[in-house]
Amino acid sequence: MPGLLHRLRTRFRNRRFDEDLRDELRFHEEMKRKELEASGIPADEARAAARRALGNATLMRENARRVWIAPWLESVWQDARYAVRSLARQPLHTITALSVLVLAIGLGTTLFTLFKGAVLTPWPARDPGRVVRITATAEGRPVGPSVAEYQLYAEQARTLSEVAVYVTGGGNRLEAPGRGTAYSPSAYVSSTFFPVLRARLQAGGGFIAEDDLPGRRPAAIISHYLWRSHFKEDPATIGLPVTINGKPFTIIGVVEPRIDGLGRQIDLWLPLSAIAVVGPVMSAGIEAAKAANCCINTVARLADGESRERARLELQMLHERFTTATKQKSGTVALYGTSNLAGPTGADFGVIGAVAAAVTLVILLACANVGNLQLARGLARRREIATRMAIGASRGRVVRQLVVEGVVLAFSAGAASILAAWTLTPFVMRALAGDVPPEIAFPPAMAWRYAPDSKVVALTAAICGLACLGFALAPAFHATRTRIPLSAMDRGGTRTARFALRGGLLATQIAACTVLLLGAGLVTRAIGHAMAFDPGFDMARISRVSVVQPHGTPAAATREFRRRLIELLERESPEPVAASETSPVTDFPFLIRVVLPGEQPSQYREVLRRSVSSRYFDVLGLPLASGRMFASTAAGEVVVNEAFVRAYFDGQDPVGRTIREIDRKGTVARGHTVVGVVRDAYVTGLERIEPVVFRPATSGALLTAGGAATVERIRALATGLDASARVRAWPLTDDVREELEKTRVGAAVAWAIGLLGLLLASVGVLGVFAYAVEERRREIGVRLALGAGRSHIVRMLVSTSGRGMVAGLALGLLLSLACGPVLGSYLYGLHPLDPLAYAGVLALLAATAAMATFVPARRACRVDPAITLREE
Amino acid sequence: MVKRLPPDLLPGTLDMLILRVLAREPMHGYGIAQRLRAISDEVLVVGESSLYPALQRLLLNDFVNAAWAASANNRRARYYTLTPAGRKHLQAEKQEFSRLIGAIQRVLESA
């Protein structure tokens, strides 16, 4: 048996194949005619007889052709061409179906492309599967590794080949002689960092162990991107003296192009010790303290032949040994990969699961809709299909042809979606970044991460394939189910009207739509809830005022300035003014470790701490429940809130009791006397009221409810103390807006998807009803002729086709109830069964259903009984 | 792949008969049909709908070659020629067919 290739080659190379066959058969026919003429038959009859003898020439050619190629192969190609032609003949249907599919699949593809770029892609290390990030946590809070603990790992861990620590920072100002200024995103790394990644340097040298120590050579390594864009790949860049944030540094190397960042772009690599030199005073202090006491980002490469689990066990042992020796709380060591998905922040991506579920619902909805369109189209093509089957097309062949149409539709939509993902991603990235400049929001060096790759193409193809099954196969089977004899073709009875399939499609989309809309409605309600939220104090009247002295003012001078400013304000301002380290609406986790009276130091609790000056509660208008407020400089006194009393004092008055604070080493640092209890309010973020310890401080931005006059008084007093101080004021609601930004983006996304769903569903309902009317046109005509009223007809349609809608609605409500708790954490305290959201969405659905059924119902009422009867 | 054969012929027989006709001399499709009818005393009327697919099948298997040439009455016709592979196949088929016929014969006589 000759191979398939031989067949295909012969078949396709031989362009004359068809012509040869045709000529040959024509010759045959002519010979036959001559033969018949010779036997005395008249010329005309002979010609007809010869034709008859030869039969269907096309069929014969087909039969001859099918000898060469498996007929399905050739006919699939035929089907595809036919599908394109027939789709082009009905542009309205095609555009509707295509746009619905592109909307749905494009949404999925674009979001997955973003997800892949932002979350799935690991660091650009060589053999990235062997690189792990190390964390230690106890009760959800990080407890290590600290720098000292990292050094222990580096010395003793046998399951790791290299260990490194790093801190990612913001942008730093890089100035090179004759090259201008570049603001470069930076990372501070230990000398072992590049070896962990197995990163090579393209030019110059890497960091050496000595660079880890503070005060040694000020070395910097730049990215290939920065080298190219800023230094024009000049080899003299190596050894070039530059300044970073005004401090002298030397560029010692250029890292290879593949090392473009750590999940986000990094252009400037500095030794860990450089944080203290170039970092902003505040954050450098915090980072250094954090690194020394608790935790620093630690990353390692597994030694050859070692598994992640074995490494984890060894590190757990080392961690416990370390924490025992230093009398610290020990935790659980965990190892993660380097993609953002794998990180300890992976839990934050729960929202991605919700988005993926929503996108799946949208795609389901789109499939159901296009399926309905295909069904209606199948009905309209009943005559064509019946003709095909009557002249001998097998059912399988007709089904295949209809499915191929679906495949053509779906894969055109898929191709368009990938194109859309490619072109839209940069815009989406820039739009999501808000105020961030575009070249930072979507840096050119990272573009490859966000380009559609084989994963994206594979996912899109899979979606298209499944979508085909969803929207093409079932309608195709249905369209070919009834074998109606040609003569009775137009009398397709009303029996077929009540097949389960359409009801199922309708129910599915109503259910999906209900879930989507209820989710969107709830989140929207939650946003409104959060904006109109009463935190227990009057947010609208309060302003925050920052007073900043010029960069470089000694810390001691700043402290003294702040102390005197607060003192002056407390004495001279008629309106209360207070200092607070954090805004009252953020949940920033400044913590204090306290030991309650009568408990052991090892039983310490971690409680939120807020450092405020004495008039803080006066500004917020919060009354004390008992006791008194402390003075701004009264060390050793604290005020707690009622939640603290409930949580740790069993509701008994704690005034006069002493709680002890312990430091990182686990030793008691000092005692604080509780002097007062303040009423509960949302002073640590809008999500929940948590136990808080307030302690005296004079640092941080100022708070006042006194309006512009007070701001001016603050400005006058501040510049009176230090003429160079700068004063800036903004309303507290700005802080709230900033805090709500993430939720707002989430709500916008939910609404976009929800509205898309509503649009799809209303089109779907319209399609289903139009279909029902079209299919029962005869029946409606007969009923009208027999005297049925128009309202009766509408009732009949709604009661039969509406059944699916009701079933879908019920299913959707049930699913929503089940989904409520999942959504709970994004609801800002709103109850998941919020009656307003449910009522609103149900009203919206009812209005849409009424609108979507109105047009087909009118059409049904306009059926002319006379025409129907004539057709009988 | 459905094989369309004249209903009263055994499967594979048509190919063998065509090969047998071509073994005598190269011939065009119409000629093959005529010849089969003539030598079988009008018993075997080969429908054109079976003849041409059969010829394509033989071409595909390289049992015959096809070439355009002038016919006896000076018209352009496609002549089929037996290839050595075709001759071998014909031999094999003939033997197989005789064996089959013999077997049927024995069944008919003994039953």
Note the pLDDT of residue A213.
79
pLDDT digits (tens, 9 = 90+) for A193-221: 999 999 888 888 888 888 887 777 888 99
Which of B4, B56, B71 lies nearest to residue A68, judging by beta carbons? B56
CA A369 to mean position of chain CA atoms: 25
pLDDT > 60? residue A492: no
Which of A32, A54, A64 lies nearest to residue B56, judging by beta carbons? A64
Stretch among A335-339, A381-385, A605-609 having the lowest mean pLDDT: A381-385
Quick one: average pLDDT of A160-188? 84
Rounded to an integer, what distance in angstroms lies between the CA atom of residue A526 and that of residue A833?
A: 12
pTM assigned to the model: 0.58
The encoded tokens of residue A328 equal 């610290």
pLDDT > 90? residue A598: no
φ, ψ of residue B11 to 5 degrees: the values are -55, 140
Asked if B53 lies within 8 A of A20 by C-beta distance, the reply is no
Rounded to an integer, what distance in angstroms lies between the CA atom of residue A429 and that of residue A425?
A: 6
Q: What is the DSSP string of A35-70?
A: HHHHTT--HHHHHHHHHHHH--HHHHHHHHHHTTS-
Confidence of residue A485 (pLDDT cuts 50, 70, 90): very low
Confidence of residue A639 (pLDDT cuts 50, 70, 90): very high
pLDDT digits (tens, 9 = 90+) for A800-827: 767 777 888 888 888 888 877 766 656 7
- The answer for A 61-120 residues in CB contact with B (under 8 A) is 63-68, 70-71
Amino acid at the residue A462: A
Q: By the CB < 8 Å criterion, does A7 face chain B?
A: yes
Q: Which residue has the higher pLDDT, A727 or A63?
A: A727
Domain regions of chain A by residue span:
4-69, 128-338, 349-531+740-871, 550-724
* Coil, helix or strand at residue B19: helix
- The ipTM of this complex is 0.82
Strand partners, A592: A607
In chain B, what residues touch A7 (CB-CB under 8 Å)?
60
> Quick check: A128 and A122 in contact, CB under 8 A?
yes
Amino acid at the residue A827: L
φ, ψ of residue A160 to 5 degrees: the values are -115, 140
Asked if B49 lies within 8 A of A10 by C-beta distance, the reply is no
In chain A, what residues touch B33 (CB-CB under 8 Å)?
28
Rounded to an integer, what distance in angstroms lies between the CA atom of residue A190 and that of residue A390?
A: 79
Q: By the CB < 8 Å criterion, does A27 face chain B?
A: yes
Closest chain B C-alpha to A421 CA, distance in angstroms: 44
Q: Which of A157, A181, A116, A9 is nearest to A356 (CA)?
A: A116
Q: Which residue of B has its CA nearest to A17?
A: B56
| Chain mean pLDDT for chain A | 80
How many Cβ contacts (< 8 angstroms) between chains A and B?
A: 62
Q: Which residue has the higher pLDDT, A13 or A655?
A: A655
Rounded to an integer, what distance in angstroms lies between the CA atom of residue A417 and that of residue A378?
A: 26
pLDDT digits (tens, 9 = 90+) for A80-105: 888 888 888 877 678 878 888 888 89
Quick one: average pLDDT of A477-498? 52
pLDDT > 80? residue A369: no
Place of tokens 């407020």: A629
How many CA atoms, within 13 angstroms, populate the side-chain half-sphere of residue B90?
Answer: 19
Quick one: average pLDDT of A522-549? 80
Angle, CA of A621, A625 and A631, to the nearest 5°:
65
- The answer for A 35-54 residues in CB contact with B (under 8 A) is 53-54
pLDDT digits (tens, 9 = 90+) for A610-631: 999 988 998 888 898 888 888 8
Amino acid at the residue A249: F
Rounded to an integer, what distance in angstroms lies between the CA atom of residue A54 and that of residue A630?
A: 112
> Quick check: B71 and B81 in contact, CB under 8 A?
no
Rounded to an integer, what distance in angstroms lies between the CA atom of residue A611 and that of residue A578?
A: 11
Note the pLDDT of residue A290.
66
In chain B, what residues touch A66 (CB-CB under 8 Å)?
1, 53
- The answer for B 37-76 residues in CB contact with A (under 8 A) is 47-49, 52-53, 55-57, 60-62, 66, 71, 75-76
Q: Give chain B's count of helices (H) and strands (E).
A: 4, 3
Quick one: average pLDDT of A338-351? 64
Q: What are the Cα distances from residue A824, in Å, to A195, A513, A623, A821, A841?
A: 44, 19, 31, 5, 18
In chain B, what residues touch A56 (CB-CB under 8 Å)?
49
Q: By the CB < 8 Å criterion, does B1 face chain A?
A: yes
Beta-sheet pairing, A668-678 with A637-641? parallel
List of residues 6+ apart from A13 with CB closer than 8 A: none
Q: What are the Cα distances from residue A310, in Å, to A132, A313, A454, B20?
A: 13, 5, 33, 78
Closest chain B C-alpha to A45 CA, distance in angstroms: 19
With helix as H, strand as E and coil as C, how does A638-661 read? EEEEHHHHHHHCCCCCCCCCEEEE
Q: By the CB < 8 Å criterion, does A10 face chain B?
A: yes
In chain A, what residues touch B5 (CB-CB under 8 Å)?
none
Rounded to an integer, what distance in angstroms lies between the CA atom of residue A15 and that of residue A645?
A: 92
Quick one: average pLDDT of A147-162? 88
Q: Which of A194, A129, A184, A126 is nearest to A163 (CA)?
A: A194
The encoded tokens of residue A29 equal 């026919």
Q: What are the Cα distances from residue B2, in Å, to A10, A59, A66?
A: 21, 14, 10
Strand partners, A673: A637, A658
> Quick check: A495 and A815 in contact, CB under 8 A?
no
Rounded to an integer, what distance in angstroms lies between the CA atom of residue A381 and that of residue A377?
A: 6
Rounded to an integer, what distance in angstroms lies between the CA atom of residue A464 and that of residue A476?
A: 17
- Preceding omega of A145 cis (within 30 degrees of 0): yes
Place of tokens 């989140």: A523
In chain A, what residues touch B72 (CB-CB under 8 Å)?
none
Q: By the CB < 8 Å criterion, does A33 face chain B?
A: no
Asked if B53 lies within 8 A of A59 by C-beta distance, the reply is no
φ, ψ of residue B47 to 5 degrees: the values are -65, 145
Asked if B53 lies within 8 A of A64 by C-beta distance, the reply is yes
Domain regions of chain B by residue span:
13-110
Helix, strand, coil percentages in chain B from 3-state DSSP, rounded to 5: 55, 15, 30
Closest chain A C-alpha to B59 CA, distance in angstroms: 9
Q: Which of B72, B50, B67 is nearest to A20 (CA)?
A: B67
Amino acid at the residue A715: R
Closest chain A C-alpha to B92 CA, distance in angstroms: 16
In chain B, what residues touch A64 (CB-CB under 8 Å)?
52-53, 55-56
Note the pLDDT of residue A497.
44
Rounded to an integer, what distance in angstroms lies between the CA atom of residue A633 and that of residue A655?
A: 19
Note the pLDDT of residue A288.
65
Note the pLDDT of residue A753.
67
pLDDT digits (tens, 9 = 90+) for A409-468: 999 999 999 998 888 888 877 776 666 666 666 777 677 778 888 888 999 999 998 888
Rounded to an integer, what distance in angstroms lies between the CA atom of residue A820 and that of residue A533?
A: 21
The encoded tokens of residue A347 equal 């839990």
> Quick check: A373 and A97 in contact, CB under 8 A?
yes
Quick one: average pLDDT of A487-496? 44
Rounded to an integer, what distance in angstroms lies between the CA atom of residue A405 and that of residue A409?
A: 6
Rounded to an integer, what distance in angstroms lies between the CA atom of residue B33 and that of residue B51?
A: 8
In chain A, what residues touch B71 (CB-CB under 8 Å)?
27
pLDDT digits (tens, 9 = 90+) for A34-71: 888 888 888 888 888 888 777 777 777 777 766 666 55
Rounded to an integer, what distance in angstroms lies between the CA atom of residue A427 and that of residue A483?
A: 52
CATH numeric code, B13-110: 1.10.10.10
CA A1 to mean position of chain CA atoms: 55
Q: Which residue has the higher pLDDT, A283 or A205?
A: A205
> Quick check: A455 and A418 in contact, CB under 8 A?
no
The encoded tokens of residue A62 equal 């087909």
The encoded tokens of residue A640 equal 């707690």
Rounded to an integer, what distance in angstroms lies between the CA atom of residue B1 and that of residue B79?
A: 27
- Preceding omega of A241 cis (within 30 degrees of 0): no
Rounded to an integer, what distance in angstroms lies between the CA atom of residue A267 and that of residue A248?
A: 17
Asked if A53 lies within 8 A of B53 by C-beta distance, the reply is no
In chain B, what residues touch A8 (CB-CB under 8 Å)?
none
> Quick check: A428 and A110 in contact, CB under 8 A?
yes
In chain B, what residues touch A67 (CB-CB under 8 Å)?
53, 56-57, 60
Asked if B47 lies within 8 A of A21 by C-beta distance, the reply is no
Q: What are the Cα distances from residue B21, in Å, to A770, B40, B78?
A: 64, 12, 15
pLDDT > 70? residue A350: no
In chain A, what residues touch B48 (CB-CB under 8 Å)?
25, 28, 53-55, 60
Confidence of residue B87 (pLDDT cuts 50, 70, 90): very high
